[in-house]
Amino acid sequence: MPRLILATSNPGKLKEFQAYLTGNAWELALKPTELEIEETGTTFLENACLKAAQVAKTLGEWAIADDSGLSVDALGGAPGLYSARYGRSDAERIARLLQALEGEENRTAQFVCAIAVARPDGSIALQAEGICPGTITYEATGMGGFGYDPIFYVPEYGMTYAEMPPDLKHRISHRGKAFAALLPQLAEIDF
Ligand code: IMP
């Protein structure tokens, strides 16, 4: 079974990727923690590509990486690439975002996820992007998920990410859509 190195040292992310890649021919493995990659790209896709490429090239193995975040229209796309660094905890990030939108009626936003797969020489073999449109609520609602889930409302389903059964979020989220685009391509790879 060919190995696919996941360009993160976060075991939570490994579990999530494993769930999306179930039944695939690849064995997923975490990158070594000492191998750190700076996210210097200007788009989610650029960051996913540079992480996958650097890990693949350094280890001489196939690698996969993702980058994701929340873009709020009234904030000019913020927190965007800085979603993870917008506060020190999920509670702080949510509070900051709700405060930034105080008095703002335009609540439209989108979650974006980009995924890239790199060959052992560091060249990009595949890339995919998934977008989930929604709105930012006025207060946190729902107990599930993580991150900004309690304030991200998806009109199509009438609930926030945090109110969704996990299998529904798995399927319709930005990450679910990115994997839906990636998986058929991954199955075609000649390794
Ligand atoms: P990264 O892709 O691991 O860099 O994640 C970027 C940040 O975006 C995370 O730390 C979360 O704050 C946020 N984020 C990404 N995906 C989700 C999601 O599905 N729900 C809630 N927050 C998310």
Query: 39 C-alpha to center of ligand 1: Å?
Result: 14
For residue range 82-133, list pLDDT tens digits in order: 999 999 999 999 999 999 999 999 999 999 999 999 999 999 999 999 999 9
Q: Is the CB of 149 under 6 A from ligand 1?
A: yes
d(CA 42, CA 12): 25
Count how many Cα atoms sit within 13 Å of the Cα of residue 83 in the half-sphere of its side chain. Answer: 20
pLDDT value at position 24? 81
User: What is residue 131's predicted lDDT score, i.e. its pLDDT?
Assistant: 98
User: Residue 62: its pLDDT value, please?
Assistant: 96
Amino acid at 134: G
Beta-carbon contacts of 98 under 8 Å, excluding residues fewer than 6 positions away, are 136, 138, 139, 151
Angle 149-152-153 from CA coordinates, rounded to 5°: 125
Choosing from 66, 67, 73, 121, the catalytic residue is 67
**Ligand 1 in contact with 86 (CB < 6 A)?**
no
Name residue, tokens 């509070």.
95
Can you list the domains of the chain with their CATH numbers? 3-187 (3.90.950.10)
Question: Do 157 and 172 contact (CB within 8 A), yes or no?
Answer: yes
CA atoms in the 13 A half-sphere facing the CB of 29: 15
pLDDT at 25 over 90: no
145 lines ligand 1 (CB under 6 A): yes
